[in-house]
Amino acid sequence: MALLDSEVWAKKFFSDGWRDCDSEQPVVEPATGDRLGAVGLASAGDVARAAARAAEAQRAWAATAPQERAAVLRRAGELFSAHAGEIEDWLVREAGSVRAKASFEVRLAVGECFECAGLPTHPQGEVLTSEEARWSLARRRPAGVVSVIAPFNFPLLLGLRSVAPALALGNAVLLKPDPRTAVSGGVVIARIFEEAGLPAGVLHMLPGDGSVGQAVVEAPEVRVISFTGSTPVGRAIGERAGRLLKRAHLELGGNNALVVLPGADVAKAASAGAFGSYLHQGQICMTTGRHLVHESLLARYTEALAAKAAALPVGDPAREDVALGPIIDRRQLERVHGIVTRSVAAGATVAAGGEIVGAGYRATVLSGVSTDMPAWREEIFGPVAPVIGFSTLEEAARIVNDCEYGLSVGILGDVGTAMKLADRIDSGKIHINEQTVGDEPNAPFGGVKASGTGSRFGGAAANVEAFTETQWVTVRPDIADYPF
């Protein structure tokens, strides 16, 4: 039987096994509108039962030998590799990924599991000095039950990067995938860990609407919420979590800048800029959403970027060799086009693209842009590259920082000059001589300002901080003498 055989998961959710449910949602291919199957939808009551079961199962899972937990993570990584083709097919058809992006996402999932397999045996505490005649220790303990709410754009990776470390560190997990990608972002993860030997009750996969999202946040057993998605939704989750005194790790939006310095290789810079803006149709929080080019290179860069954009075919990635697949749904497609048309009405010029093509959008370059236009101020989440010029480093730093977001920045050109600029920029990540999109399982990932709460995913230190609690422990050789 294939890993994702629909007989296993169709019209079901995962909670102590695959469960029948009262309602379902079609799985739709965004490129064609075709129905690919149906997933079961959980209810708020299902979440309550899952949270209680997760809290029970977590205690035994946390007590499992670290080597056994590590082995489950390693087997999960091996299973992702063994079933890569099948998983890629779902990412192409359900998420609208081009094949190269789908392959890249699965490789990152493999790396995430192998990286997290080291967490159970990673040092999880420190020895403290004490004024008393005793040992003083600070140790990290599993948080308990963790809720993970994942988005549609990199549905497998952006769910797994919280699920895997949370499980590795001894927690139980409630996973709510985006309903638009419930198979590639939910069913895949549940099936992988089921086959990897994760004990029953430790992982629950609960697709659903906003009421399910609210339930996985508010369930009393949940101590940590890991959310990746839009800033407005993240604010609402943060407010709920704060009221309930729960930790919320919020990885939110971005409007990321690529700065092209004087003297940069224009052809290479345009290639990097195109990749940053058009990978996965620009539906990435790290997408290059703003291109700042030194005035000496502005005309040449804009022309080169427009030529790159015009050469990128748009279509159905499951049936055609294309560079850009569909936008996730019609509402988002019309939003992207609306931002472009409003910016053109405000004075911008379409140097390439600017058109809806079936379920997709042509790679677009906008010139003549000012910093008050919608295409510059808003996170577009589509394949649109607005370009403006700058004259000094001071001006470039001011423009980059004049943004509500602070996730990722790329700087192309002389390294010394780039380093001076980097020191003036507020951003969770800065890449010199690379574009803005980058992620590795062992690297801390996160943003500042409206891009998130400053929490990080990736790497042992960040993951231990995110998914454990600190406990102070002291030990004396004898009972102390007290004055009472």
- Residue pair 370/276 in contact by the 8 Å Cβ criterion: no
Dist. CA 225–CA 249, nearest whole Å: 6
- Residue pair 330/337 in contact by the 8 Å Cβ criterion: no
Cα-based torsion angle of the residue sequence 169, 171, 174, 180 in order, rounded to the nearest 10 degrees: 0
Choice among 88, 94, 105, 251 that is catalytic? 251
pTM, whole model, 2 decimals? 0.96
82: which residues sit within 8 A by CB, 6+ positions away? Answer: none
Look at residue 464 and tell me whether its pLDDT is greater than 90: yes
Distance set, CA 153 to CA 98, 159, 288, 330 (Å): 12, 11, 15, 15
Look at residue 419 and tell me whether its pLDDT is greater than 90: yes
Largest CA-CA distance found in the chain, in angstroms, rounded: 83
Q: Which residues does residue 12 pair with via DSSP β-bridges, in sequence order? A: 20
- What does the pLDDT look like over 136-150, one tens digit per residue? 999 999 999 999 999
Dist. CA 306–CA 266, nearest whole Å: 12
Tell me the CB-side half-sphere exposure of residue 92, using CA atoms within 13 A: 20
98: which residues sit within 8 A by CB, 6+ positions away? Answer: 92, 280, 317, 322, 323, 324, 325
Look at residue 335 and tell me whether its pLDDT is greater than 90: yes
DSSP assigned state of 479: P
Tokens 């407010």 map to which residue?
239
422: helix, strand or coil:
helix
pLDDT of amino acid 454? 74
- CATH fold of 256-432: Aldehyde Dehydrogenase; Chain A, domain 2 (3.40.309)
* Domain ranges for the chain: 6-252+452-472, 256-432
Q: How far is CA 86 from the centre of its chain?
A: 22
Is 285 a catalytic site residue? yes
Averaged over 215-223, what is the pLDDT?
98
pLDDT of amino acid 177? 98
Amino acid at 259: V
Look at residue 50 and tell me whether its pLDDT is greater than 90: yes
Helical residues (DSSP H) of 198-329, grouped into ranges: 210-218, 231-243, 266-278, 298-310
Both tokens of residue 307?
């030529």
- What does the pLDDT look like over 51-92, one tens digit per residue? 999 999 999 999 999 999 999 999 999 999 999 999 999 999
Distance set, CA 64 to CA 60, 72, 118, 129, 136 (Å): 6, 11, 15, 30, 25
**Helices H, strands E: what count in the chain?**
16, 23
pLDDT of amino acid 370? 97
pLDDT of amino acid 401? 98
Is 440 a catalytic site residue? no
Choice among 21, 113, 116, 285 that is catalytic? 285
Reported as a pLDDT band with limits 50, 70 and 90, residue 457 is: confident
Reported as a pLDDT band with limits 50, 70 and 90, residue 456 is: confident
**Architecture in CATH of 6-252+452-472:** 3-Layer(aba) Sandwich (3.40)
Please give the full DSSP string across 315-382, using - where no structure is assigned. Answer: S-TTTS--SB---SSHHHHHHHHHHHHHHHHTT-EEEE---EETTEE--EEEES--TTSHHHHS---S
Distance set, CA 51 to CA 11, 115, 150, 353, 393 (Å): 21, 27, 18, 48, 52
pLDDT of amino acid 58? 98
Look at residue 380 and tell me whether its pLDDT is greater than 70: yes
Tell me what percent of the residues of the chain surpass a pLDDT of 70.
100
Please give the full DSSP string across 90-135, using - where no structure is assigned. Answer: HHHHHH---HHHHHHHHHHHHHHHHHHTTGGGS--EEEE--SSSSE
Look at residue 310 and tell me whether its pLDDT is greater than 80: yes
Look at residue 1 and tell me whether its pLDDT is greater than 80: no
- Residue pair 226/146 in contact by the 8 Å Cβ criterion: yes
Reported as a pLDDT band with limits 50, 70 and 90, residue 458 is: confident
Dist. CA 392–CA 395, nearest whole Å: 5
Look at residue 341 and tell me whether its pLDDT is greater than 70: yes
Query: Across the beta sheet with 12-15, what order do the strands follow?
Result: 18-20, 12-15, 203-205, 172-176, 145-149, 222-228, 247-251
Look at residue 453 and tell me whether its pLDDT is greater than 90: no
448: helix, strand or coil:
strand
pLDDT of amino acid 434? 98
Cα-based torsion angle of the residue sequence 239, 244, 250, 252 in order, rounded to the nearest 10 degrees: -20
Dist. CA 278–CA 287, nearest whole Å: 8
Closest residue by Cα to residue 367 from 381, 343, 349: 349
Dist. CA 41–CA 176, nearest whole Å: 10
Q: Which residues does residue 429 pair with via DSSP β-bridges, in sequence order? A: 408
Look at residue 246 and tell me whether its pLDDT is greater than 70: yes
- What does the pLDDT look like over 169-191, one tens digit per residue? 999 999 999 999 999 999 999 99
Neighbours of 440 (CB within 10 A): 13
Strand 18-20, strand 429-432: pairing: unpaired
